[in-house]
Amino acid sequence: MRILIIGAGIAGLAMRRALVRRGFSVDVVERNRSAGMGGAGLFLPGNGVRALGELGLYDDLIRLSHAVNAQRFHDEHGRLLTAVDTNHYWRDVAPCRAIKRSDLWELLNGGAEPHDIAFRQIIDIESDEHVSHVSFEDGGKQSYDLVIGADGVNSTVRHLIFPEAPSPNYVGNVCWRFIVPNTCNVRDWSVMLGADRSLLAKPISATELYIYADMSVGRAFTSAYACETPLLPLFGGIAGRLRPALELSSSATVHFGELVRLRMPAWYKNRVALVGDAAHASPPSMAQGACLAIEDALVLAEELAANPLVSTALSRYQNRQKKRADWVHRQCAARDKMRRLPPWMRNGLLRLAGGAIYRRSYSELKKPL
């Protein structure tokens, strides 16, 4: 079987590794020659670490990443609302870790030759129940038994194969991400919750701190913000002990974006399937973007290896993973709704039931794939 993966981000490289480990022949194309460079940090809850372990990467992941032993939620004045012992909660699955995105990319790409990724852009896909014909911008054309779209939230594959699909929907928040030296000595995942904004910090190495900041902004006003937006005036009032890290943002490489969600009724059509954010992008409230993408890769590869009929494999892949993705979407919506409650009500809920809310929100993801 000839398989083409379109996109060489986290989802695409995980998909390639999962397929190659099962003996499939795989081509990978990517339009961005800087696909593995840059980015900021990633938090990997236990289900994501378990998935990477199933790809044979557990030991290297532990070496390259930083432990997340607890998640601490604070109010706008820095007072602790609740703390979750992640080692205890995820003890039957895998430990939680934090890692640079570029390090995870290199880990998934490890051992591959430079020419294993072809830097080409697709312009068309014609697919029926037997084969997919792919046309490239450079004039080339090739046929595949299966095409897998792993090209992110703004997927070209999704646009070509599912023209009726909804566009990613803005959820009402913009965000900034960056990495700075850990001058404020933060040891655990820690978030400061304001009335309409939050500031999150987590160590990604012994000396580096990943900062994530988001703020509620009406759709008509998002253009007023960018990577260059000074962050201290926006978040200084809730920064607390994170203020030194926030002050360093002016000299850091900052990534800006609008938070979106994408829900689709179907993830495949004929001989084309979608994985990762191309199929089910969600806000980062549950830290499941990379985790679900890696899980998608494992499940799709497993079903293709187990079922001689590609249509059966794709149907089983969708049935298995869509349940998990839909769960994540519901939990993200619930978390975001809680964050928008009046601070006194939100803070009271977290003080009284923060641990129970956390345990419930991740309960389905602790289950085996």
Answer yes or no: do 48 and 133 share one domain: yes
Look up tokens 């839909």; give the residue: 326
Q: What is the pLDDT of residues 328-343, one digit of tens each?
A: 999 999 998 998 899 9
How is residue 316 written in tokens?
A: 């089983």
Number of domains present in the structure of the chain: 2
Q: Is the pLDDT of residue 28 over 90?
A: yes
70, amino acid identity: A
The answer to whether residue 146 scores a pLDDT higher than 90 is yes
Answer yes or no: is pLDDT of 19 > 70: yes
Answer yes or no: do 296 and 346 share one domain: yes
Strand 146-149, strand 141-144: pairing = unpaired
Contact (Cβ atoms closer than 8 angstroms) between residue 186 and residue 241 = yes
Average pLDDT over residues 291-312: 97
Are residue 28 and residue 156 in the same domain, yes or no?
A: yes
Given CA atoms 358, 361, 367, 369 in this order, what sign does their dihedral have? negative
Q: What is the DSSP letter of 110?
A: T
Instruction: State both tokens at 10.
Output: 């986290």
| Relative orientation angle of helices 289-306 and 310-339, to the nearest 10 degrees | 160
Same domain, 296 and 191: no
Same domain, 60 and 185: no
Containing structural domain, residue 42: 2-168+262-366
- For residue 250, report the phi and psi dihedrals to the nearest 5 degrees: -65, -20
Boundary of a domain, candidates 213, 239, 260: 260
**Domain endpoint, select from 260, 284, 300:** 260
CATH code at position 358: 3.50.50.60
Domain stops at, among 260, 294, 311 = 260
**What pLDDT is attached to residue 115?**
66
Q: Are residues 240 and 348 in the same domain?
A: no
What does DSSP say about strands 122-127 and 132-136: parallel, antiparallel, or unpaired? antiparallel
Looking at the structure, do residues 220 and 137 belong to the same domain, yes or no? no
Phi, psi for residue 25 in degrees, rounded to 5: -90, 125
| CATH classification at residue 190 | 3.30.9.30
Question: What mean pLDDT comes out for the span 52-64?
Answer: 98
Distances (CA, A) of 182 to 87, 210, 265: 22, 9, 43
Structure tokens at 40: 């900021």
Which are the contacts of 165, defined by CB distance < 8 A and separation ≥ 6? 158, 159, 264
Question: Are residues 247 and 275 both part of a single domain?
Answer: no
Distance CA 89, CA 71 (A): 11
Least-confidence region, from 115-119, 125-129, 340-344: 115-119
Phi and psi at residue 241, to the nearest 5°: -70, -10
What Å distances lie between residue 172 and 233, 236, 239, 282, 343, CA to CA?
A: 20, 21, 21, 13, 18
Residue 111's pLDDT band (boundaries 50, 70, 90)? Answer: low
Considering the domain architecture, whether residues 50 and 193 belong to the same structural domain is answered as no
In 3D space, the residue among 250, 256, 253, 178 whose CA is nearest the CA of residue 224 turns out to be 256
- Residues 180, 93, single domain; the answer is no
- For residue 317, count CB atoms less than 10 angstroms from its CB and return exposed for 0-12, middle for 13-18, buried for 19 or more: buried
What is the tally of helices (H) and strands (E) in the chain?
13, 19
Q: Which two tokens stand for residue 217?
A: 């902004």
pLDDT at 174 (0 to 100):
98
Q: What is the pLDDT of residues 255-269, one digit of tens each?
A: 999 999 999 999 999
Rg of the chain's alpha carbons, rounded to an integer? 20
Residues 179 and 254 in one domain: yes
How many other CB atoms sit within 10 Å of the CB of residue 206?
7
- One domain for residues 244 and 278: no
> Coil, helix or strand for 164?
coil
- Please state the rounded mean pLDDT for residues 140-147: 97
